[in-house]
Structure 1
Amino acid sequence: MAIPTTLPASWYCSPALHQLERRAVFLRSWFFLGTINKFQTGETARFEIAQIELTVVTTAAGGSSAKTVKVLNASNGEELRSQQTRTGLVFTTISSEAPSFDDFFPGLQDLLDSYDFTRLPHRRSLTYDGNFNWKTMMDGFQECLHCQFTHPGLSKLYPPTFYRVVNHHNWSRHFSNPDRDDDGLFLFFFPISTLNLYNGGMSTFRACPSAKPGVSRMEFDYYNLVSGEEFEEYYKFVRQVANEDFDLCERAQANLEKGVYTEGCLNPEKETGVVFYQDRVFEMVMAQHAREKEQRSGNP
């Protein structure tokens, strides 16, 4: 069996590849924005994904207490395709080149139907920049070989010994307890979004690429039934995990840019999540490269 290898370091550092990746991956994907509880009726929320600014307008559905969202391209007012799942998650596209939601995330809706995400109030959002490529962050999320050493607190709750990742088309589910597959919900939505429902609350993040390959904007949301001091204890714990990953990613990106690391092998059993998502990036980039080559040659 061939040992899988990582994407070359140039894919994390090259401005030309970064722009090709934007056209190949981001314009053709769906993005998780949060649960419906994050959006307040009558208010406008703003996002930016891959240098495309979005406006989210929330209204009452049919005059009832239920809410519905509409996502617009902020530059021209065009309504973009969005999806509000039956259990309260909101996704969007950023261009017309993306396929349908069910084609992009086949089978995901059935899993999401098992959880009522509307029961958790939105408590806090947090945004800041990191000096790393978006893939550097996703490399870390999609495996847990580093967890025992980088996340001692998390490893006590979820020992990494039995950690495994099950990959689907454009999404992954993480498991840490072989006896209790219902203990926590850890999801990766290709290419940049995560959802982590555990320890009494839910945290989500997006690793949004900037115009520079070595800088990403981290966007976090935190949901919980509890508030006040109880929430602050939960928040302190999940922020500790996030900060540990942040430091690791900045150091890894620095090594990539210095040429300390160029390309290497991936563990075929323990890093299947990384293999899966990097393969998707590679496939989409090569397909876009072929399309653009045909266009330049004048072929339809």
Structure 2
Amino acid sequence: MTEYDRPFSIELPAKRQAVTMAATVASWLGYIPSLAGDKELPDEPPKALPASWYYSPEIYQLERRAIFSKRWILVTHKLRFTKPGDFLRFEEAGFSFVLCLDREGNLNGFHNICRHRAYPLVSEDEGNVKILSCKYHGWSYSLNGKLAKAPKFEVVPGFQKENQSLFPVHVHTDALGFIWVNLDSSPNPVPWEEDFDGVDRQERFQRFDFTQYKFDHTWQMTGDYNWKTLADNYNECYHCTIAHPDVARLADLSYYYTVSTPGHIQHFSRPKPDKVDEDIQNASTYYFPNACMTVSPHFFYMMRCVPTSATSCSMEYEVYRHIEASDEDFEYIDSFFKRVLDEDKHLCNAAQKNLNAGVFVNGQLHPDLESAPLFFQNTVRSLLKSHSDEERKINREIWPARQHSAGQATAEDVAFCLGHYNFNMISFRQCLAIAALPLAHTALALNDISSRAQSATNLCGDNDYIILESSPWIVYNMLYNAAQMVGTQCTNYDGMTTSDSGTKEVLWSSVTDIDYVASTNNVPKGYSFVGLTQNLETKLSAISSIPAVYNWTPTNTTEFKGNICFDFMTNDVKGDSTSSSSRELMLWLQYEGGQLPIGWTNGPAATIDNLFGTSWTLYEDINTDTGITVSTLMPTKQFEGSFSGDLKNWLLAMADLGRFTESTYVNVGNAGYL
């Protein structure tokens, strides 16, 4: 009995019959099991998040939804706003927004988007204005965000200026004057105190009077690394002895430690005894998700590590100088920190290259010296999993920052784009992806099979297919008993769309039209599926992960008999998926109408516990038509409409049962309706 610790939250919507399917790259959540060569130790140190979390575009888009458009973010200090009309422009993970001081002394936040045609209102990073004016069509807004003028719209029937204010951003100023924003469009976002209560009342801040500092300058660096790479780096000084000679020379690193609490990480350090007179004492805090602040008697600086893509970021720095700091003291401490921060940039750039290379999975972290990076990573993991669970419940992405315009027409158009309309088809919505397979080969022999054009089409032949351009997928209609069928079974390619996260989605459907006669059991024996044409013929040991999401909605069920499954082919010979030495692996997610796997009459061959959140029973035997051994896993609790998980865990579980080894080739991979 094999056990894996990758549970996934499963949604069980109402069942129907039929099949519109969509394939997209999935977000990968949770740890990947240990690969060959990793030692299983009784007290194994904790491991970092997998490398894929540091380069996956899908994880980045999920972070934009789950973190950067939902949590409070530290951005600046009130010292930067001294008179009405002062404004600052910020970017956070692709979201652009503006903070502006109005004539009543209120600090307001707005998305940097004109309500007319989405043109950016502000292009400068900072400045002073009397009014916010769009340079596209001339719409203008007062400093409180209300629409002041929309040229020539006064003659448009039904136009209401009061409904055209700028999209607001929540703003909070803490007790020390630091300014936070929350981009959630809800009028009641998560309370600031939920994560940061007391962060502005730290005892170590009491010796610093923040009103005695003044804003001095900003500076910026770009990094070719994921924003979390820098967060991991910043939140430990395990590397300081080797990588930061200035720090090692001045600081007592044997004393350094961190304290992690919800929302922030406090860093504690002290100078070496012979360096106390140099007055380099400071207090540093990391504020989740991506900001930090260090204050010293001479200055304080803020850093925001702004994500610009899955593998790039911009470090934005604000430097404030104490009003009594001498030029010599200020320049010394300022240059000291800039050297250290530049060293960190080069460390992160180099590490990210290897994270991107597809070799490294994750490493063991020191439970004490790297406790803060572990705390940070656990926070990221928890927020992403929680948000992903909510998305699976409603079968669509949730973008908290998205604004909602009034109007029935808008709602209908948005619903149409999201595919909420059901056109009375037999349809499943499906998402499938295989990632981090280094080789690219075609897995199916397609020479003698009729192909179709790239446009939407119905595939009703015995072996009919369409290879999707600019994608690794094929949509395929396969029938085993076409001559005996009474009726038809067609697999329809309906098109390809792009989700809000930027991932491609293949829409397809399987439609069965027969008059079922129980006495003859004249069901169509076939397979409708989306299969991979690339990134296959790879050894299991070389695959870092196979993230997959599969959602389906059956409709019009009448005497339905079939199953929803993943279907892989393995062999010790690269590319061989047809000889008797091959093994067919099937992961049945839902099965109805008495459909039974090959080997059912033999009884269970093995069981697996806690794989994808449930237990499984293995049935297997030789398919007498092909001579290939078929190994089918059936869940104790069926997945009625939704599945999400890393399919490599399935393959590893089968390897642990001795069905093959990690040197076995994965030659075919698809998902569909059998």
TM-score by length of 2: 0.41
**Code of the aligned partner of 2:176:** T
Q: Which residue of structure 1 lines up, in the alignment, with residue 179 of structure 2?
A: 90
Task: State the alpha-carbon separation in 2 of the partners of residues 149 and 83 from structure 1.
Answer: 39
Displacement of 1:161 in angstroms is: 1.3
Structure-2 separation of matches of 1:157 and 1:93: 38
Q: How far is the alpha carbon of 1:50 from its aligned partner?
A: 1.5
Residue in 1 that maps onto 2:355? 256
Q: Which runs of 5+ in 2 are unaligned?
A: 1-42, 116-165, 396-550, 554-640, 642-674
- More displaced, 171-180 or 78-87? 171-180
Moved more, 90-99 or 184-193: 90-99
Partner of 2:307: 209
Shift of 1:39: 2.7
Which of these residues, 73, 86, 101, is aligned with residue 31 of structure 1?
73
Q: Quote the residue 1:272 is aligned against.
A: 371
Identical pairs, percent:
27
Deviation at 1:227, TM superposition (A): 6.5
User: Which residue is 1:136 aligned to?
Assistant: 229
Any conservation in 2 of the 1:36–1:118 contact (CA below 8 Å)?
no
Which structure shows the bigger proportion of residues in helix conformation? 1
Deviations 1:237-276 (A, max 9, x none): 1110110000001001011011342211110111110010
Cα separation, 1, equivalents of 2:221 and 2:249: 28
Work out whether 1:105 is the aligned partner of 2:143: no
Deviates more, 1:279-288 or 1:289-298: 289-298
Unaligned residue ranges in structure 1 (runs of 5+):
none
Matches within 5 A, 1:60-209: 68-75=106-113, 76=115, 77-96=166-185, 98-111=189-202, 114=206, 115-177=208-270, 183-198=281-296, 200-209=298-307
Cα distance in 2 between the residues matched to 1:260 and 1:158: 35
Partner of 2:129: none
Report the Cα offset of residue 230 of structure 1: 4.6
In the alignment, which of 320, 330, 343 is matched to residue 223 of structure 1?
A: 320
Any idea what SS the aligned residue of 2:254 has? helix
SS in 2 for 1:240: helix
Conserved 8 A contact 2:302-2:317: yes
Q: Give the secondary structure class of the aligned counterpart of 2:45.
A: coil
Equivalents in 1 of 2:211, 2:180: separation in Å? 15
Residue of structure 1 equivalent to 2:90: 47
Contact 1:89–1:117, Cα closer than 8 Å, also in 2: no
Deviation of 1:204 after TM superposition, in Å, equals: 1.2
- Report the aligned-residue RMSD: 2.5
Going from structure 1 to structure 2, the CA distance change for 1:285 and 1:208 (only over 3 Å counts) comes to same
Whole-angstrom CA distance in 2 between matches of 1:116 and 1:185: 13
> C-alpha displacement at 1:228, in angstroms?
4.7
Instruction: Report the CA distance between 1:118 and its aligned residue.
Output: 2.4
CA offset at residue 121 of structure 1? 0.8
8 Å CA contact 2:243–2:343 kept in 1: the answer is yes
Distance in 2 separating the partners of 1:51 and 1:227:
39
The 8 Å contact of residues 298 and 329 in structure 2, kept in 1 or not, is answered as no
Structure 1 letter corresponding to 2:339: Q
Q: Which amino acid aligns with 2:195?
A: F
| CA spacing shift, 1:244–1:286, aligned 2, 3 Å | same
Amino acid in structure 2 at the alignment position of 1:102: E
| Offset at residue 284 of structure 1 (A) | 0.7
Choose from 20, 34, 39 the match for 2:62.
20
Amino acid paired to 2:296: Y
Partner AA of 2:295 in structure 1: L
Query: CA separation of 1:227/1:31 partners in 2, compared to 1, >3 Å: closer, same or farther?
Result: farther
Q: What SS class does the counterpart of residue 81 from structure 1 fall into?
A: strand
Letter in 1 for 2:314: R
Aligned mates of 2:261, 2:366 — CA distance in 1: 19
Measure the CA separation in 2 of the matches of 1:154 and 1:39. 34
Question: Is the CA contact 1:35–1:117 (under 8 Å) kept in the aligned structure 2?
Answer: no
Q: CA deviation at 1:108?
A: 1.4
Q: Which has the larger radius of gyration?
A: 2
Aligned twin of 1:236: 335
| Counterpart AA for 1:200 | H
- The worse-fitting range, judged by mean Cα deviation, of 271-280 and 252-261 is 252-261
CA distance in 2: counterparts of 1:187 and 1:18, whole angstroms: 24
Q: SS in structure 1 opposite 2:344?
A: helix
Write the distance in 2 (CA, Å) between the matches of 1:240 and 1:278.
Answer: 26
Structure 2 counterpart of 1:111, one-letter code: Q
**SS of alignment partner, residue 379 of structure 2:** helix
Call closer, same or farther: CA 1:185–1:95 in 2, change over 3 Å: same
CA distance in 2 between counterparts of 1:11 and 1:278 reads 10
Q: Deviations over 1:64-85 (max 9, x none)?
A: xxx6522111225222211111
Higher relative contact order by CA 8 Å / sep ≥ 6: 1 or 2? Answer: 1
User: 2-side partners of 1:262 and 1:39: how far apart?
Assistant: 45
Residues 68 and 127 (structure 1), Cα distance of their counterparts in 2 relative to 1, 3 Å cut = farther
Secondary structure at 1:239 match in 2? helix
> In 1, Cα distance between the equivalents of 2:215 and 2:326?
10
Q: 1:175 to 1:131 in 2, by over 3 A?
A: same
> Match for 1:290: what amino acid?
D
